[in-house]
Structure 1
Amino acid sequence: MEHLLFVNGCVRGEKSRTLKLARRFLERYQAAHPDTEVTEVDVCAQRLSPQYPEVLAERDAVWNAGGLDQPMFAPARQFAAADKIVIAAPFWDLSFPAALKIYLERISVTDITFGYDADGNSVGLCKASKLLYITTRGGYYAGTPLDIATQHIKGLAVMYGIPCVHFLDAEGLDDVRNDKQALLEQAMERADALAEEF
């Protein structure tokens, strides 16, 4: 059975336009791939602590003691074991909400999601063959230097060893000149098509 991990970074919950787009993709994906098991991680509900000095000290102590099986590293092990990964988060101050950043920092664990070879080169250890990042933006930022989130996700995929990265977005949703619902519907249609091939 295929395992898809859905990382929900939508801080406005079910009111979130990004989450609506993600739910549409996941609904169509499961219809097209009925044997897939989907596990959702809500980063807001999870409430992982930022890596303050005391958190890092504990993490380092557990890691140095060889405790990769400890609960502290459970999110990293879950991420590394997934066959496919979907991350959804709104465009937020040129990137994504802090809760998702904290999650991504906490899953970046040497010898779980990435490691190093004998020559000191970084090697990805994640099982996932594909990662999809879903977002919505009020303005038009895709492909510009202001879209830091996309570059961040691309870089992490390389570090984690995930070879195929897709992006699904809806833009211009806060532009008063636009028909917001029409833009979101167009993104939903793209989600349907992507669900077939992802």
Structure 2
Amino acid sequence: MATVLYITAHPNDERASYSMAVGKEFIAAYREAKPQDEIVHLDLYKVDIPHIDTDVFSGWGKLASGTEFSALSEEEKRKVGRLGELVDQFVAADKYVFVNPMWNFSFPPLMKAYIDSICVAGKTFKYTAEGPVGLLKDKKLFHIQANGGVYSEGPAADIESGHRYLNIIAGFFGIPSVEKLFVEGMAAMPDQADTIKAKAIEKAKEAAARF
């Protein structure tokens, strides 16, 4: 049995979001293909994701110097402890599905905060004499992103940074398999939006069955 961490970064649900609609169908198809697997939904708009601030740096510094966790301030314990929970949950999963819209050529800020929480030396990567080495070499990642325009090809592909950044992070973690599905062009071609969505859902179902 595998554990799938389904990570969504959109304030709306599938009724108002193309990415969430396609993501929901992906997970439904995956669940049908592999009913024995556990799927854990992490809605980044509904969970606590501490930002790395002065409390976090202070808490980390104290722990690094040998201070017991119980001796940290209440805010330090809350934030540092929660960050630890997030990275442990990520490491424990076998597969990851990220779902988000493209905002201003990237993803929503909460997704960056989440990625910051899981970039932890000794957990998702380690430092060596030859440089950093990823520790998640047996994992898989699938990325679903909705773009109002077309960013998978042509000149606009050069300014899309959401998937490219996530792909860099996955490589940093050592994740060998990264797939993507762009749901795109709905704003540029509103008369074709429903067709674009339907085609993306079919592709998502096909991808889920082999994921």
The answer to whether TM tops 0.5 is yes
- Flag the 1:126–1:86 CA change in 2: closer, same or farther, 3 A: same
Radius of gyration: which is bigger? 2
Distance 1:20 1:104 in 2: 23
Superposition TM-score, scaled by structure 1 size: 0.91
Task: Name which of 116, 119, 122 aligns with 1:108.
Answer: 119
Q: What is the correspondence of 1:1-150 to structure 2 with a 5 Å cutoff? A: 1-14=1-14, 15-62=16-63, 65=66, 70-117=81-128, 119-126=129-136, 128-143=138-153, 144-150=157-163
Q: Residue 208 of structure 2 aligns to which amino acid in structure 1?
A: A
- Greater alpha carbon shift after TM alignment, 150-159 vs 139-148: 139-148
Long gaps (5+) in structure 2: 70-79
CA contact (8 A) 2:18 2:183 kept: no
Q: Which runs of 5+ in 1 are unaligned?
A: none
Flag as ranges the 4+ runs of structure 1 deviating above 6 A: none
Task: Note closer, same or farther for the CA distance 1:64–1:123 as it changes in structure 2 (3 Å cut).
Answer: farther
Distance in 2 between residues matched to 1:129 and 1:73, nearest whole Å: 20
Aligned-CA RMSD value:
2.0
Equivalent of 1:152, from 165, 183, 187?
Answer: 165
Matched residues, number: 196
Deviates more, 1:6-15 or 1:147-156: 6-15
C-alpha contact 1:115 1:122 (8 A) present in aligned 2: yes
Matches of 1:60 and 1:43 in 2, distance apart?
Answer: 27
Percent identity of paired positions between Structure 1 and Structure 2: 27
TM-score, normalization: structure 2? 0.85
* 1:107 Cα deviation from its structure 2 partner: 1.0
Determine the C-alpha separation between the residues in 1 that align with 2:64 and 2:19. 35
Task: Choose 17-26 or 128-137, whichever is displaced more.
Answer: 128-137
